[in-house]
Amino acid sequence: MSVSVLCGVKDRSEHLLQSYKSWLDCECVDEVVIVDWGSKDPISQKLDDNEKLKIIQMNPNHTKYWAFSQAYNTAARFASGDTYLILNADEIIFSSEGLCNLEKPNSEFCYEGTSWESEKAHGVYFLYISKESFWKINGYHEDIIGYGYDDVDLRRRIKESAVEIKTSNAEIEHIKHEPGNKSSENMLNYAISWSYTWSVMERLIELDYKTKGNIIYCDIAMRDRLTHEYMLDRRGRARALSEQEKHFGV
């Protein structure tokens, strides 16, 4: 069974440059798929050439708004592995031995987080899951935009699909930095998650792409691009739901 590391990033190359080599050096990792969600300076220009590395370069003209869910689903769509190791750009694999010795996730269980007793592990989020289990629930909720609540929504749906979530002892470090997400953004995503449930019937964003070497140049179809108008409408829908909950005492 092959392992694909999945990562999405937008203008956070300082963290990625500290972490990605530890992913490539991990013996049980077969490929590293990084989605560059329209960074001002393309990530591909800053990374070393490596046969394990696959870069998805999104059109910066159509990726103004960061969308964790869409970026990571895109990484999964282009990954060739049977299992996905989902990491943030600020996660460093400190020791590959513990990770590689884990029983590979299957249709019955996956791993989330780490029990490594180290201050460096504080704040780590990673998900080690089979391709089958990930797509059984249609991946991340693609109407959750920005940062916040995407992992909570995914965890809930994993449990509902009868896949056991285990905690691993993988030694993974978190690079300390100021949080980028806002509490208001997290609450907005909370409202979207519960009011517009993501299911296997939902359509993923449509992508057009062409490959050149280890870089896949990718664009989002016009109907799926996150425009200013869409973001305003999305916020309005969430506000209306919030007011409805208050009215009915939900």
Measured in whole angstroms, the distance separating CA 40 from the mean position of its chain's CA atoms is: 20
Rounded average pLDDT per 10-residue block, the chain, 250 residues: 94 92 96 97 93 97 95 98 96 93 96 88 89 98 91 96 95 81 77 90 97 95 94 79 52
pLDDT score recorded for residue 180: 59
Domain range summary for the chain, segments of one domain joined by +: 3-248
Strand 31-36 and strand 109-114: the pairing is unpaired
Residue 141, φ and ψ in degrees, nearest 5: -75, 110
Q: Can you tell me which residue has the tokens 């109907």?
A: 223
Domain topology for 3-248: Spore Coat Polysaccharide Biosynthesis Protein SpsA; Chain A (3.90.550)
AA identity, residue 228 = H
CA angle centred on 44, ends 71 and 218, rounded to 5°: 45
Q: What is the pTM of this model?
A: 0.93
Asked whether the beta carbons of 138 and 203 are under 8 A apart, the reply is: no
Strand 126-130 and strand 215-220: the pairing is unpaired
